[in-house]
């Protein structure tokens, strides 16, 4: 299959899990990118030759001018549209504050999982992440708090 004359290839992306004091750093995507205006975790394509850790550190700089240290690969998922996602826990450098690159990110915010999951414009990978956490598919650090057992039932 091809799109606009280009051969299709499996898509592979990295997602940043940045959590501090029970709140996760998320973005609302710009109107100029694929899946415009949807809320999700920061991240993007893993380029040829990159590890997921390298990709997520690059993507954080590109999207948010944010410096962080990729720590642990905690989960892998495949979206309904066929993209394999590598979910990477990232520690934000304390002196680094997010600044949206408006070509890619309309805004950024720190939110609790409960607030995030009520957002009407979520990228479908977000509820799947919280459902997997509630199923104990992976463990997050204590600073994330505990998953709500009801999230296991989230539709994604």
pLDDT at residue number 2: 40
Q: How many whole angstroms separate alpha carbon 109 and alpha carbon 143? A: 17
Per-domain residue ranges of the chain: 2-112
pLDDT at residue number 81: 84
pLDDT at residue number 104: 94
Q: What is the DSSP string of 54-121?
A: HHHHHHHHHHH---EEEEEEEEEEE-TTS-EEEEEEEEEPTT------TTTEEEEEEE-HHHHHT-TT
- Determine the 3-state secondary structure of 130 from DSSP: helix
- Residue 17, classified by CB atoms within 10 Å of its CB into exposed (0-12), middle (13-18) or buried (19+), is buried
- Superfamily assignment of 2-112 in CATH? Nucleoside Triphosphate Pyrophosphohydrolase (3.90.79.10)
Q: How many whole angstroms separate alpha carbon 17 and alpha carbon 89? A: 5
pLDDT at residue number 92: 97
Q: How many whole angstroms separate alpha carbon 42 and alpha carbon 53? A: 13
- Residue 50, classified by CB atoms within 10 Å of its CB into exposed (0-12), middle (13-18) or buried (19+), is middle
pLDDT at residue number 8: 55
Q: How many whole angstroms separate alpha carbon 105 and alpha carbon 151? A: 27
- Determine the 3-state secondary structure of 25 from DSSP: strand
pLDDT, tens digit only, all 156 positions of the chain: 344 544 455 599 999 999 999 999 999 999 988 889 999 999 999 999 999 999 999 999 999 999 999 999 999 999 988 999 999 999 999 999 999 999 999 999 999 999 999 999 999 999 999 999 999 999 999 999 999 999 999 866
**Cβ-count burial 56-95 (b if 16+ within 10 Å, e if not):** bbbbbeebbebebebebbbbebeeeeeeebbbbbbebeee
């Amino acid at each position: 299959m091809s799109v606009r004359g280009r051969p299709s290839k499996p898509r592979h992306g990295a997602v940043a899990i940045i959590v501090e004091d029970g709140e996760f750093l998320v973005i609302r995507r710009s109107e100029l990118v694929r899946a415009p205006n949807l809320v999700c975790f920061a991240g993007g394509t893993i380029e040829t030759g990159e590890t997921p850790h390298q990709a997520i550190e690059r993507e954080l700089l590109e999207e948010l001018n944010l410096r962080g240290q990729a720590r642990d690969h905690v989960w892998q998922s495949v979206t309904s549209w066929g993209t394999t996602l590598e979910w990477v826990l990232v520690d934000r450098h304390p002196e680094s504050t997010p600044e949206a690159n408006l070509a890619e990110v309309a805004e950024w915010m720190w939110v609790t999982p409960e607030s995030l999951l009520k957002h009407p414009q979520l990228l479908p990978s977000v509820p799947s992440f919280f459902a997997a956490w509630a199923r104990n598919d992976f463990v997050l650090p204590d600073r994330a708090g505990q998953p709500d057992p009801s999230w296991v039932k989230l539709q994604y």
